[in-house]
Structure 1
């Protein structure tokens, strides 16, 4: 691997060669101008070419010098080993000049370690190493509507009694009965705080961005759990799982498998006039389905040598750890529920919280405000028991 020093030396050699060419063409141009009174087109083009090349190489050399200075400035000063302290001392140099006669006394500074580690130039790595993050998927299933209010009021149909019928001429017409109720989805706040030291922000500026990303990720984790499983008490959202229609097989089949149950849940949603648009499963349950084999041992869905799109019965499957194992959610996510964004994720930093000023600390706050409305009467089919 070529070092910065080697690259700089190569650029300087190239620059020296081009400088010689500039000098050579300059002398030719002067001679030609004195003889003919002007320069030929060929000479002008050649002079322009070497000058451009010279300027480009000179700029590369300057950039490399700047890069080496900046890199040297960003690295901590290396502690000299005992051996380096000895050979670089004035006492040792005089001792050598005097023929190495007699004795010498040298004051040495303590080193961190007596092993080879002291000879290695330390480097501070500014790239933080973060823990793995989960991919969020549930929000993408739902329509998202921005709002400017603290709650969302919406009508929710509770009864449909259809008495439409053939009617004889001049006879009274029957009345149908439709009942609507008002429902409210309250805006809830999801938030958390984190502390940062002033020294960390100054010495590792990238760390601020990493903490920002971590806090946004933390909000996403809770948001996804609330959308699915919020129980509606206190400041919790009323999640989809707590409001969806319980799974009940519309038809009876012998020894239904988990794949059969998902198809029957789709039928249940269709009979309720909400044709399903997706399936949400825990990743373990989806893996179990992918590993389903035929009687002769062949995989029914998966291809061990390739990738298989997560689909079942024509619908996309969303595997997520946010869904409990041995449970599923099947339904029409586009008309069954709506997510309302009152305030997107906001991250702020302040040094005026509690005793931050005197302790050289800063407080980072991340929060969002949202509401969830499960608006249809029979929005989704779900099962919460083991299959």
Structure 2
């Protein structure tokens, strides 16, 4: 059985053993309880006294043994008195030896701080183990004071290694941008690598009222067309990983899948909105949109809101109805924070939640739009623009890519194939607020 004692408990136990030893030596006196504590500071004196008593008893045992031997030779037996005397001396000797050993072990353990040479001591242990306290206990008069060394702390040399940090399960995902452009337009499916379409180019409408004279010719109208092609683009990226880490951390593969899918959709949004159309890039809606041009409306002290209204008018004059306004979140926040002269908000109610709108059209704030730029247009209905899915987002894992097999690596690939056809660039108007001086 093992007991875990504090330093103060060890001190008291050692004192108790010392008291027992002193009592057996015949030097204990009632009222001198502090003597045992004082003797702990002079362990060498007590040990010498115990050893001297052991030597004296050993001499007595030797003398008794010689007398017993003579008595046996003379009487052929040992008297009861001699036998009892020898037994008592042997018992006393054993008790003293056991007490001496126990006292020495406890004192050594006490001096080592309770069993650890570097273990920090509490305030109470430092007080009871001090020489000042032993002196005060022997003569308890007045008050007692002493300096106390550092107690147990969180430091590396103290109890720091015992403090285990709490682990939050899972992986903390960084913020993900809200993706909106794909949801603005209609989508269809294709089985080819490109989409061809015929766009009406010029329409000459000569319709007019005519007479009933059969000899007169009816007016002739004219329509011309042009062919156009939109390629299906492949958007892809991949990441390497070891087979071991995927096996040891099961959730890591699903986490990587999710991050790869998000990265793919983030690039898709940028391509749908502002793809350059050069090389393998999608020809984006903003790229093909018609540049803003005031249709001829005079505006005094033009603001951002005024310009957006004129852009909506420009789309309307091209025979389309603009159903959405795409802005940078910074520009939309600037508009929402507009106030009247008495500091009332013009377009926002901070106490109520509602769909962002302006001039009856949905506002679509997205970081894919640069600050200072805007795009208005007829996104819905599929008449002005349409998206095409050739292959949905897929995630594939390969063990044979390059030297994966010999390196215990895997390649995780994420890709999709999409296309975009802007049938009517005039149904979209793009512009900026650069020449608007008033911060509104």
Give the TM-score taking structure 1 as reference length. Answer: 0.69
1:139 has 2:182 as partner: yes
Residue in structure 2 matching 1:165, options 201, 208, 218: 208
Show the 5 A alignment for 1:259-274: 259-274=305-320
- 8 Å Cα contact 1:158/1:377 also seen in 2: no
1:325 corresponding residue in structure 2 = 371
- Point out 4+ residue stretches in structure 1 off by more than 4 angstroms: 98-104, 121-126
Q: Structure 1 204/325 Cα, relative in aligned 2: closer, same or farther at 3 Å?
A: same
SS of the aligned residue for 1:186 comes to strand
2:323 corresponding residue in structure 1 = 277
2:230 corresponding residue in structure 1 = 185
Q: Offset at 1:319? A: 0.3
SS of the aligned residue for 1:164 comes to coil
Q: Equivalents in 2 of 1:119, 1:154: separation in Å?
A: 72
2:197 corresponding residue in structure 1 = 154
1:380 has 2:425 as partner: no
Cα shift readout 1:50-85 (whole Å, capped 9, x = no counterpart): xxxxxxxxxxxxxxxxxxxxxxxxxxxxxxxxx9xx
2:355 corresponding residue in structure 1 = 309
Aligned-residue Cα RMSD (Å) equals 2.5
SS of the aligned residue for 1:366 comes to strand
Residue in structure 2 matching 1:351, options 385, 396, 399: 399
Show the 5 A alignment for 1:94-113: 99=102
SS of the aligned residue for 2:426 comes to coil
- 8 Å Cα contact 2:322/2:427 also seen in 1: no
Q: Equivalents in 2 of 1:125, 1:347: separation in Å?
A: 28
Q: Offset at 1:123? A: 6.6
- 8 Å Cα contact 1:151/1:187 also seen in 2: yes
Q: Equivalents in 1 of 2:425, 2:251: separation in Å?
A: 49
Give 5+ residue unaligned stretches, structure 2: 5-100, 110-114, 116-155
Give the TM-score taking structure 2 as reference length. Answer: 0.61
The 10-residue stretch of structure 1 (361-370 or 264-273) with the greater mean CA deviation from structure 2: 264-273
Residue in structure 1 matching 2:274, options 221, 229, 233: 229
Cα shift readout 1:285-310 (whole Å, capped 9, x = no counterpart): 00000011112221111223333430
1:361 corresponding residue in structure 2 = 409
2:56 corresponding residue in structure 1 = none
Q: Structure 1 359/120 Cα, relative in aligned 2: closer, same or farther at 3 Å?
A: farther
Q: Offset at 1:126? A: 4.6
SS of the aligned residue for 1:269 comes to helix
Q: Equivalents in 1 of 2:337, 2:390: separation in Å?
A: 42
Larger Rg: 2
1:129 has 2:172 as partner: yes
SS of the aligned residue for 1:378 comes to helix
1:72 corresponding residue in structure 2 = none
Give 5+ residue unaligned stretches, structure 1: 1-82, 84-97, 107-112
1:339 has 2:387 as partner: yes
Cα shift readout 1:110-152 (whole Å, capped 9, x = no counterpart): xxx6543422356765501121110100000000111111111
Residue in structure 2 matching 1:241, options 255, 272, 286: 286
- 8 Å Cα contact 1:350/1:363 also seen in 2: yes
